[in-house]
Chain A
Amino acid sequence: MRLVLRRLLWLGPTLLAITLLSFGILSSALPADSELADLPLFFNPEPGAVERLATQALHQIASSDGQQPEAERLLARLGGAALPYVLPALDAQSPEGRARVVRALRPVGVRMGFELDEHWDASREVLSWTRFWEEHAIDYRPSVARRAVLRLAQRSTQLRDTEVRQLDTYALDELIAQMPPEGAFDLERTRRLAQLAADITGQPQLAIPADADIARAEAVASAWQDWWARQRSHYKTYSGTERVAAMLRDTRYGGWVAQAVRRKLGLVHAGRPVWDVLCEASRVTLPLFTCGLLGAWLGAVSGGVLASLESARGARVLRRIAVLSSALPVLVLAVLALRWLGAGARQLWLGAFLMLLAGAPLALSEGARGEPGSGVGFSRTLASLGVAPWRAGLTSVRLSSARLVVQLGAHLSNLLTLSCVVEYVLGLPGLGTETIAALQHPDLNWLMAITVGAALFAGLSHVFGEWLSNLLDPRWLNAAAGAGGAE
């Protein structure tokens, strides 16, 4: 039992290592999402880049003679979150530089509700921004932004709306945090906050239509949270422990973990949560896999019983059956069924039957080697002690089961692959069909979920097999310890 517990405790770190490894491989192999491309994979040494980005853009715009469209776009996108770093630094720029910076800030001003005339003189615009900062610098604090958003969430008035709009992207963190509805009565609040966030970020597709229901509002709020998880690092600065946490969280891996926790392991291409698809597809795959296991068990038992009888003819028959079964791979049988039955082959029972046939040879092959196995001596002893044949038979079944459990670790991969192939050939909507589709048209969320699921399954089956084999026949574990296999 101690061994089992130790193995179970090791599963956690093993799974973490596997998610890291799989995510690294998949992320480097798959084309990155454009929004995630500039985020580091696992570790962000500089989270909360708004200060750096804003200062960089400011210097590029102010110091260059010509247009800097990239920097201007960046400044416009950073918006209110960049103002605490841009506006105080305006005085340090040359008059031409200042003029260029305020021109770049014009889209931000429009979003914030300023009445800016494009025919204005640059100095007038600079003066306007300077005055704004003198009056409102105190508002650009997290606590003020939080209060303003909470007030707007409670009740919408023109003044409250203006307050939040003037904070622009600086208020996004609070806006998105307050957005998820807490019930049907919350629909209006979520719509208000989503509309404001959509106006600020220029994403009208993430607004909630007037006729939307609460489910749609929840989906939009969730989409905003996904967007914020990817973009947060561009609009924020961190300090203290929050900064340390952000070093891990504001990464592509952190984004995947956050999405997996919030969205039931993420979304597949079709937009459904991975967990829902996994549960649905498992209803097909698990019966197939169980039938494969059952077939393997039946094969092991019949092989074990025949071997314990020490019948040369039985061993020969067993060997012939094993060779015959290897001549009829399950792929060929499944395709034959498909040709014969056409669309009618899309039946779970047929897949289960094929898996039953596919599983048996895996265990039969061990018995077909003609080795006497561990059960023979036992059976002979039982017979010499006058034990009834049926009890000797039961002992053979138990010993054969133990042998199967011990060997099963090596065959699980085959059984899982065969289940996937049978599903695919027969057109059954199981895990295999989904996985093959996700491999053909790469889907990171599904592949991560199935990899972690397969690793968890592998680990658990390993532990379970060890426990069961020890239960059925403790000699296996002792023998393994003697061979240096056990600790």
Chain B
Amino acid sequence: MRLSARSALPRNLALGFLSLLLLAGLLSDWVAPRSVASAAALQSGLADTRGWELLAWWMLATRNVLAVSATASLIGALFGSALGALAIYGSGGVAGALSRLVGFTGAFPGLLLVGLFRLGDPSHGVLALLAALSLLRTLEVAQLVRAELLNALLGDFVEASRALGASRRWQLRAHVVPRVTRPLVANLLQGACALIGLEAALSFVGLGLPAGVPSWGAGLAAVARAPSLLPFAVAAGSIGLACAALYGLGASLAAAPARSGGTAGAALVALGAAR
């Protein structure tokens, strides 16, 4: 019992921190406007910001980062799942093309992809950022879903249930969906961690959210050489803790005892990603 409580502590801490971020994001609209007139002014003057204004900036930045990461993750999950499910029906053409596309996109720098999208973006960054991040996530999720579905559908238990007269719908509900859900959620959590890191890097170099829109990466760029430590610690700590919390949750979910077939599915993901 003691051991179980100890092992659950990091997970609970991660969940608590993510809940705090979510709460900050939700409350930012009520808190931030009362403290500052302009978010852009707050972002540009971050190096000298203290107290309430720093909190307001952090809440706004948290809201923006969470919104971008969550939207890209959701779009990636939806389109990726659909694409991955479709891909198993075209073993040669669609699956091969999907594998190659993922392999190719995997080696194409995300920075360049966002930059190219951004050049034609009328919103000066938001749409380009979302489109590029969603594209990267969609292809990765599609590959994962395809591999997990293939693994589950080819399993002996599915064959057995078919022999016993189970309908395809029942098989999907009883065997396939539960086996796909957990790796998918773990992947979404770890993918969200990667998205936060990528968004921070892009905003840092000026290719992320539009100038003046608060975000952790842009905040880090604003205080990178500033003498005051607090704003830097807030920006850097937010990125690091959010990444660690998401990654840790994903890792603990992935490391939990799997149903049969889970590990081979992960191996197939890796195979598909490299092809």
B250 to chain A, nearest CB (A): 9
Q: Are B206 and A479 in contact (CB under 8 A)?
A: no
A366 to B106, CA, bound (A): 16
Q: Are B271 and A421 in contact (CB under 8 A)?
A: no
Q: Are A368 and B251 in contact (CB under 8 A)?
A: yes
A407 on interface, CB distance cutoff 8 Å: yes
A55 on interface, CB distance cutoff 8 Å: no
Q: Of B10, B104, B140, B247, which contacts A458 at CB under 8 A?
A: B104
Q: Are B275 and A485 in contact (CB under 8 A)?
A: yes
Task: List B241-275 residues whose CB lies under 8 Å from chain A.
Answer: 241, 243-244, 247-248, 251-252, 254-255, 263, 266-268, 270-275
With a cutoff of 8 Å between Cβ atoms, the chain B residues found around residue A486 in the complex are: 275
With a cutoff of 8 Å between Cβ atoms, the chain A residues found around residue B220 in the complex are: 331-332, 335
Q: Are B96 and A487 in contact (CB under 8 A)?
A: yes
B139 to chain A, nearest CB (A): 10
B126 to chain A, nearest CB (A): 16
Q: Of B147, B205, B275, which contacts A466 at CB under 8 A?
A: B275
Chain B, residues 92-134, CB within 8 Å of chain A (1/0): the string is 1001100110111111111110011011100000000000000
Q: Knowing A331-B204, A371-B266, A483-B147 touch, does A323 contact B251 (C-beta < 8 A)?
A: yes
A411 to B111, CA, bound (A): 14
With a cutoff of 8 Å between Cβ atoms, the chain A residues found around residue B88 in the complex are: 484
State how many residues of chain B have any CB contact under 8 Å with chain A: 66
With a cutoff of 8 Å between Cβ atoms, the chain B residues found around residue A319 in the complex are: 251-252, 255
A406 to B254, CA, bound (A): 20
With a cutoff of 8 Å between Cβ atoms, the chain B residues found around residue A462 in the complex are: 100, 103-104, 107, 274-275
Q: Are B107 and A479 in contact (CB under 8 A)?
A: no
B251 to chain A, nearest CB (A): 6
With a cutoff of 8 Å between Cβ atoms, the chain B residues found around residue A326 in the complex are: 193, 243-244, 247-248
B232 on interface, CB distance cutoff 8 Å: yes
B98 to chain A, nearest CB (A): 9
B55 on interface, CB distance cutoff 8 Å: no
B200 on interface, CB distance cutoff 8 Å: yes
Q: Are B205 and A424 in contact (CB under 8 A)?
A: yes
Q: Are B224 and A480 in contact (CB under 8 A)?
A: no
B114 to chain A, nearest CB (A): 9
Chain B residue nearest to A483 (CB atoms) is: B268
With a cutoff of 8 Å between Cβ atoms, the chain A residues found around residue B210 in the complex are: none
Q: Are A331 and B197 in contact (CB under 8 A)?
A: yes
Chain B, residues 222-248, CB within 8 Å of chain A (1/0): the string is 001100000010001001110110011
Task: List A320-338 residues whose CB lies under 8 Å from chain B.
Answer: 322-324, 326-329, 331-332, 335-336, 338
B136 on interface, CB distance cutoff 8 Å: yes
Chain A residue nearest to B262 (CB atoms) is: A371
B150 on interface, CB distance cutoff 8 Å: yes
A375 to chain B, nearest CB (A): 12
Q: Knowing A335-B220, A339-B225, A369-B255 touch, does A451 contact B116 (C-beta < 8 A)?
A: yes
With a cutoff of 8 Å between Cβ atoms, the chain B residues found around residue A22 in the complex are: 116
With a cutoff of 8 Å between Cβ atoms, the chain B residues found around residue A484 in the complex are: 88, 91-92, 95-96, 150
With a cutoff of 8 Å between Cβ atoms, the chain A residues found around residue B236 in the complex are: 332, 335-336
B39 on interface, CB distance cutoff 8 Å: no
Q: Are A365 and B197 in contact (CB under 8 A)?
A: no
A257 to B34, CA, bound (A): 56
A418 to B109, CA, bound (A): 9
With a cutoff of 8 Å between Cβ atoms, the chain A residues found around residue B62 in the complex are: none
With a cutoff of 8 Å between Cβ atoms, the chain A residues found around residue B10 in the complex are: 323
A421 to B112, CA, bound (A): 12
With a cutoff of 8 Å between Cβ atoms, the chain A residues found around residue B255 in the complex are: 315, 319, 368-370
Q: Knowing A335-B236, A458-B107 touch, does A436 contact B243 (C-beta < 8 A)?
A: no
Q: Are B274 and A466 in contact (CB under 8 A)?
A: yes
B207 on interface, CB distance cutoff 8 Å: yes
Q: Are B270 and A406 in contact (CB under 8 A)?
A: yes
Q: Are B244 and A327 in contact (CB under 8 A)?
A: yes
B217 on interface, CB distance cutoff 8 Å: yes
B194 on interface, CB distance cutoff 8 Å: yes
Central interface residue in B100, B201, B206, B273, by most chain A CB within 10 Å: B201
Q: Are A417 and B201 in contact (CB under 8 A)?
A: yes
Task: List A427-484 residues whose CB lies under 8 Å from chain B.
Answer: 432, 435-436, 439-440, 442, 447, 450-451, 454-455, 457-459, 461-462, 465-466, 469, 476, 479-480, 483-484
- Give 26 CB contacts A-B under 8 Å: A25-B120, A29-B119, A29-B120, A322-B251, A324-B244, A335-B236, A338-B224, A368-B255, A372-B263, A403-B270, A406-B270, A410-B140, A410-B270, A410-B273, A410-B274, A412-B106, A413-B108, A417-B198, A420-B111, A436-B111, A454-B107, A476-B271, A483-B271, A484-B88, A484-B91, A484-B150
Q: Assuming A322-B251, A326-B193, A420-B109, what are 13 further A-B pairs, CB within 8 angstroms?
A: A29-B116, A29-B119, A29-B120, A323-B244, A332-B240, A335-B204, A369-B255, A370-B254, A410-B140, A413-B108, A458-B104, A458-B106, A462-B100
Residues of A within 8 A of B (CB): 22, 25-26, 28-30, 315, 319, 322-324, 326-329, 331-332, 335-336, 338-339, 365-366, 368-372, 374, 403, 405-414, 416-418, 420-421, 424-425, 432, 435-436, 439-440, 442, 447, 450-451, 454-455, 457-459, 461-462, 465-466, 469, 476, 479-480, 483-487
8 smallest CB-CB distances across A and B, nearest first, come from A458-B107, A327-B244, A410-B273, A439-B115, A29-B119, A370-B255, A326-B247, A29-B120
